[in-house]
A and B are shown apart, each in its own frame.
Chain A
Amino acid sequence: MSVLLALARLRKSFGDRMLLDLGELVIEAGQAYVITGDNGAGKTTLLRILAGLEPADIEGLRIEGVAHNGAQVSRQIVYVHQHPYLFQSSVARNIAYGLRARGIDGVKRERLVEEAIAWAGVGHLRNVPPSKLSGGEKQRVAMARAKVLGPRLFLLDEPTANLDGEARAQTIALIRQLVQDKNSLLIACHDRELIELPGTRRFHLENGKLTEV
């Protein structure tokens, strides 16, 4: 597999406390990774840094061989929040948001949105105000909103946290589909089923260090 993302070193501290001090990190294209670690280990912070949402001391970040700084990655990497925020419009407009930001025209945009809606199984929610959605439905809409952009890398932050029963199963099914379709994913999680998902590799984050296990 080719290298999607490589960084030579990443450090992040809060005051005197060094939260992350990673050496070389390589993410292969088409590979899914889970990141495990205790609460507060820095999993969310790492994903946010990679998404360009959090500043950090980064050396040698390259995406598909091209050098980047942390703030330039937002069109290639999509971060899905643990508790996704949906804009105060319809589900369909939420899914179309990133496409609009990329200037994708109406007909193509509508087709892509319909495909994403069908993929996530949220067709019946198309015109429902986001505030009426359950946590599981919001997570699936957020996954569709990310997938429709065809990002180089998905960053999923605890996607099944606070979900149970069918909502959790549906979210895991979507992630399984992304893994099977050879998308690149980095998933911070505690969920045993996600950790053991076939086709994934596992990093463990402890004391600011990331090790593959």
Chain B
Amino acid sequence: MLHLGGSWRLPHLRALDGELAALREPLQEALAGPTGLVIDGSALQDIDTAAALLLLGALQEALADTRALSLQGFDERHARIVEVVRGRLADTAAGPAPRLMNMVAHFGQAFVGLGSLLHGHVEFLGRVLFALWRLALNPRTLRVHELFAQLGQVGVNAVPVVALVTFLIGVVMAYMLGIQAEKYGANIFVVDGVALGMTREFSPLIVATIMAGRSGAAFTAQLGTMKLTEETDAIRTLGLDPMQVLVLPRVLALAITLPLLVFVGNLAGIVGAMGMSSATLDITPQTFIERLHVALAPRHYVIGLAKAPVFALFIAVIGCRMGMSVSRDTRSIGINTTSTVVQGIVAVILLDAIFAVIFQELGL
């Protein structure tokens, strides 16, 4: 006979668990006895399903067939709760604990994941290029309205932040170069350094990085949300192609605006350097511009601008693809957006390094 008393409720589970553990041996003896075990609940104040489960689970562990237990003196409500739990006891048996992956498995999974990610990117890039080719064959399928909307968002609205950042970079470059150049009385060469560095490397790289964070993330979030709310599916069922309606306008918008923004960046950076030079290096704006004509060969400028559409293509393709591959939960939008920004920046820097090697080999 097991007498229950007091309040058998969720907040007291740990204490109850301890008491049941202490009773383990007498319980086993009682269960082995000829009369079996009778549970008396007449002194019970309250019992809830959690505590009932704890009790029945402990008895089950002590080898009792819980179906053969008899209840005695239980309040009607308490008996009902115990019966509800008893009927579901089999369902509560804990399954095997989830296997923890070791480091090697994690590493392998990450590696395979990276492989399939890149594979997906290449495939998506192929589909974008194919769609672009079809667009070239049939230009009337271009979504002009969406393209202009994107040009506004991706391009025009980005001008202030691009101009501000590159202006500041120009100021810093002129200042840092100036400190060194002044020691040798070579102030004027600051113009060479800033003009070359800004137009060929810094402006494209910085503007592309900003756009990877700004537009790449926006593409992923936009397309991901549309995927989640089944808008992309609606587009498909209406006989339209999400690639044409959503992806191409974004890719084209970024490919068109990124070179223009790099141009804005070049101007802002040079203006910043010019201001700094006239303030600290005694180079008047007039001298600065005259030197600029001599120092800045057009090819540097063109190389800088030429890199921009390639950066744009990769940023847009990564952004759109990560958006289109959002799964059905809200969490994956966050994960994919983060991933887009990281991938975009890595892609831009990697491409820039490849360009640097190529142009070096070509002697440009």
A binds B: no
A: residues with CB less than 8 A from B are none
B: residues with CB less than 8 A from A are none
